[in-house]
Amino acid sequence: MKKLINIVSLQNTMLTKEQLKQILVSQRETILKKDYGIERTILKDIKAKMILPHVIVITGIRRSGKSTFLKQIIEKYYHNKNFYYINFEDERLFNFDASRFNDIYESLIDLYGECKTFFIDEIQNIPNFETFVRRFYEQGFKFYLTGSSASLLSKELGTKLTGRHVDIIVKPFSFTEFLALKRITVDNQDLYRTETRVKIKKLFETYLIKGGMPEYLLHDDLELLMNIYDDILIKDIAVRYHIENVTTLKQIYQYLVNNFSNKFSYNDIKKTLKIGSVNTVKKYISHLEETHFVNTITKFDHSIKKQLINDKKMYLIDTGFIQILSTRLTKDKGWILENVVYTALKKLFTDVFYFSDKNECDFIVMEKKSICSIIQVTWELNENNKEREIEGLFSAMNFFSIKSGLILTFDQEDEFTREKKKILIKPVWKWLLEQEK
């Protein structure tokens, strides 16, 4: 096997310019013929970053649509002209030596003339890729780079391109993008039409369960989601970090998925799973976060030190994975709803916490060190939970001296005042459409 790898490596380093040209022409044809897909809402963010000299690094969970996003940038902002494209996921370029990048550049000039913009897919497959990126960047070239490994790109570029790159994370489809996939557009008037509301609510129930992974939604095959998770587990984590005890890795991740949206501590996981070290638990969870598969949030505290030691909550990047990974006998829709709300908040805000005092509130949202939203999430407000949910919201509102709060449910809508504080109750699907606009 090792001999075979060496032969492949030797073949790749011996590629002639004519062979390189054949590969580059076919790659360009492929990206130009690629389906435009559902236009991503983050495409508008590119416009402001295009005028910066910085390298634009496009990361995200595997199969979230990074290559399609590149295609959209090329078509919308470059009109399919004046760009170079290289895909290092191509097996013909496996083990390509970064020192030969000039050969690629000269081949591209011969084929398409001089150009100052590179689009490069899956650049992490080339060791020392940052050397030629920095060299060309300093000569005034513009780079758009994609990579499945957030860890690799952040570490390598952070070291070699300090202050020279900006990041864009491609995530699974938002609810608006999911509706676009179903060929449905929504304006404000539609929200007041009974037929449209019924249709949107039905599609939202589907979105809650299936999530927004593009490839899975197109083909409706759960094995696609399982393959993504396996690749993350093995390729992005176990192989990259040389983890031999994959069983422990799987146990920790299974525990997290089964307890998503619930509080946990590293020590609890250590004791429950009988793992030797809390540091091992921390490290393995950190690896999973780096792949964009999950995010953890902490209890709000004015003390940063206490935030670090307080119990955490974990949310998945996409609820579709819950149906294949969670072994809970009952899939609580309230928890899934909460997960959807968190992923929407995370797209808009950096700082999201939960609040816990005598009562608990799901989300404290901050922007520039100021509270901008206090949110409670429940599937339905009823006689059994109404007091608890409202008290949790009120505790947080009183703590932060905020006069308005939001309760998100599946389909209830109301507004009331209590103790001179305004409480708004709104359906999550409607709130999502408002946020995404």
Phi, psi values for residue 73, rounded to 5°: -65, -45
Burial of 162 (0-12, 13-18, 19+ CB in 10 A): exposed
β pairing state of 370-377 and 360-367: antiparallel
Give me the percent of the chain exceeding a pLDDT of 90: 81
Question: 186 or 416: whose pLDDT is higher?
Answer: 416
Please name the fold of domain 2-169.
Rossmann fold (3.40.50)
**Measured between alpha carbons, how far is 373 from 371 in angstroms, rounded to an integer?**
6
Residue 148 near residue 124 (C-beta atoms within 8 A): yes
Q: What is the mean pLDDT of residues 146-170?
A: 81
pLDDT digits (tens, 9 = 90+) for 215-234: 999 999 999 999 999 999 99
Q: What is the mean pLDDT of residues 347-363?
A: 95
Residue 218: strand, helix, or coil: helix
Model confidence at 200: pLDDT above 90? yes
Residue 427 near residue 406 (C-beta atoms within 8 A): no
What pLDDT is attached to residue 6?
46
Residue 396 near residue 374 (C-beta atoms within 8 A): yes
pLDDT digits (tens, 9 = 90+) for 70-123: 999 999 999 999 999 999 999 999 889 999 999 999 999 999 999 999 999 999
User: How far, CA to CA in Å, does 365 sit from each of 317, 362, 405?
Assistant: 18, 10, 11
Q: What is the mean pLDDT of residues 361-369?
A: 94
Model confidence at 148: pLDDT above 70? yes
Domain ranges of the chain: 2-169, 228-331
Q: What is the mean pLDDT of residues 404-428?
A: 96
Model confidence at 269: pLDDT above 90? yes
Question: 436 or 262: whose pLDDT is higher?
Answer: 262
Residue 59: strand, helix, or coil: strand
CA 152, 155, 157, 159 dihedral sign is negative
What pLDDT is attached to residue 312?
97
- Confidence band for 11, pLDDT divided at 50, 70 and 90: very low
Q: What is the mean pLDDT of residues 353-364?
A: 96
Cα 304 to the center of its chain, rounded Å: 25
Under CATH, to which class is 228-331 assigned? mainly alpha
Give, to the nearest 10 degrees, the angle between helix 246-258 and helix 266-273.
120
Closest CA to 390 of 429, 359, 354: 359
- Confidence band for 330, pLDDT divided at 50, 70 and 90: low
Phi, psi values for residue 356, rounded to 5°: -145, 120
Model confidence at 156: pLDDT above 80? no
Model confidence at 275: pLDDT above 90? yes
What pLDDT is attached to residue 158?
77
Residue 355: strand, helix, or coil: strand
**Measured between alpha carbons, how far is 373 from 365 in angstroms, rounded to an integer?**
5
What pLDDT is attached to residue 13?
53
- Confidence band for 14, pLDDT divided at 50, 70 and 90: confident
**Measured between alpha carbons, how far is 273 from 279 in angstroms, rounded to an integer?**
14
Model confidence at 417: pLDDT above 60? yes
What pLDDT is attached to residue 404?
97
- Rounded to a whole number of angstroms, the CA Rg of the chain reads 24
What pLDDT is attached to residue 8?
43
Residue 410 near residue 427 (C-beta atoms within 8 A): yes
Closest CA to 116 of 140, 135, 151: 140
pLDDT digits (tens, 9 = 90+) for 277-317: 999 999 999 999 999 999 999 999 988 888 888 999 999 99
What pLDDT is attached to residue 369?
87
Instruction: Give the count of beta carbons closer than 10 Å to the beta carbon of residue 143.
Output: 22
* DSSP string for residues in 364-394: EEEETTEEEEEEEE-S---TTTHHHHHHHHH
**Percent of the chain that is helix, strand, coil (3-state, to 5):** 55, 20, 30
